[in-house]
Amino acid sequence: MMTFLTLLFKILVFPGFLFVTVIGLLLAGIDRKVLARMQKRVGPPIVQPVYDFFKLMGKETIIPSAANKAAFLTAPVVGLVSLVVLMLFIPVFSYSAFSGSADMIVVLYLLTIPGVALIVGGSASGSPYAGIGISREMVAMMAYELPLVMVLLSVAKKAGGDSLCFSLQDIVAWQAANGCGAFHWSLIPAALAMLLVIPAEVGTQPFDVAEAETEICEGPLIEYSGAPLAVFKLNTALKMFVMTALFTALFFGGIDTGIVALNALILVAICVVLTILCMTTVHAVTARLKVEHLFKFYWTTVAGLAAASLVLVWIGL
């Protein structure tokens, strides 16, 4: 009974649903505020995403007549569940909710589910704008998956040495013993590649080809309104946190104060810095890419960075 309650606490409060939601919405708010300041605007208050979420929750849900109702409504929830589960697999420094022998590939695959949920939801809406949007989302997914895999494999090889190490906890433990991943120079290209993967995974400008408000009117989200839209917006905010937390686990996992609450605070601080660094700043200074350019960019430049790291790690540096 006690273990069940503990698990329930982990899922619903920390590091599960409540924690992820609050921090995710906070990150989204900070992103908007800092972006506005960079563009010399006043910007919304930092809690604006929370207001937006509750406002959308109260709005009417319109299901277009061309839509498949079941898929249209379940898709956002499936994405949300997978993101919460994902956070349970990512260790917060030495603390981790679930322990598995090989959670890296689980993380890799769980990361695709929010994207798939967006695609299935958009597809189910029956809109041609959504049709274009899902096609772009899928191409973007293929684009960033290659560097992401290489980043994960290089970190795994660096941490594991001559034995197989796919467990994020082992990677974090290795960093606690040998210094953070980002301080090993052979992993720096991988860290840079990962920094570029984050905005594509979250779908912020210049990699927001799928949603592209100005040309295809938010693509997959075009027919969404009310609560399902709120959940999709929440998913985007959660992705920000989950991706930056994954980066922290892979490259700054060695920090450990021994106090879980303090660790969580440090994690949030790192996530805020990462959000401003790789999402807000990049957003402020660039314009949207075309989908074929995005694909080329990820399979050449970003994959090249990750491959450099992989090769360096493999020759033992």
Q: Which residue from 46, 139, 260, 270 is in contact with another protein, where contact means CB under 8 A?
A: 139
**Which residues in 88-107 contact another protein (CB under 8 A)?**
98, 100-103, 105-106
Which one of 44-52, 113-121, 181-189, 272-280 is the stretch in contact with another protein (CB under 8 A)? 113-121
| Nearest one of 105, 111, 305 to 201, comparing CA atoms | 111
Closer residue to another protein in complex, CB, 114/199: 114
- Helix boundaries (H) for the chain: 2-12, 17-38, 48-57, 69-89, 103-125, 128-160, 168-178, 188-202, 213-216, 226-251, 260-274, 281-285, 291-297, 303-314
Q: How many Cα atoms sit within 13 Å of 214 on the Cβ side?
A: 7
Which one of 21-29, 188-196, 199-207, 309-317 is the stretch in contact with another protein (CB under 8 A)? 309-317
CA distances from 306 to 95, 148, 270, 311, 317 (A): 28, 8, 22, 9, 15
Q: What is the dihedral of CA 65, 66, 69, 73, to 10 degrees?
A: -100
Q: Which residue from 171, 197, 198, 230 is in contact with another protein, where contact means CB under 8 A?
A: 230
- What three-state secondary structure class fits 162? coil
Cis peptide before 206 (omega within 30 of 0): yes
State how far the Cα of 128 lies from the Cα of 122, in Å rounded to an integer: 10
Q: Which residue from 21, 96, 125, 248 is in contact with another protein, where contact means CB under 8 A?
A: 125
**Which residues in 184-213 contact another protein (CB under 8 A)?**
none
Size of the site for another protein (CB under 8 A): 89
Q: Which residue from 14, 17, 93, 247 is in contact with another protein, where contact means CB under 8 A?
A: 17
Q: Which residue from 226, 255, 256, 260 is in contact with another protein, where contact means CB under 8 A?
A: 226
Q: Is 310 in the site for another protein (CB under 8 A)?
A: yes
| Nearest one of 133, 135, 148 to 232, comparing CA atoms | 133
Q: Which residue from 22, 176, 188, 217 is in contact with another protein, where contact means CB under 8 A?
A: 217
**Which residues in 38-67 contact another protein (CB under 8 A)?**
57-66
**Which residues in 242-301 contact another protein (CB under 8 A)?**
290-292, 294-296, 299
Which one of 44-52, 157-165, 186-194, 269-277 is the stretch in contact with another protein (CB under 8 A)? 157-165
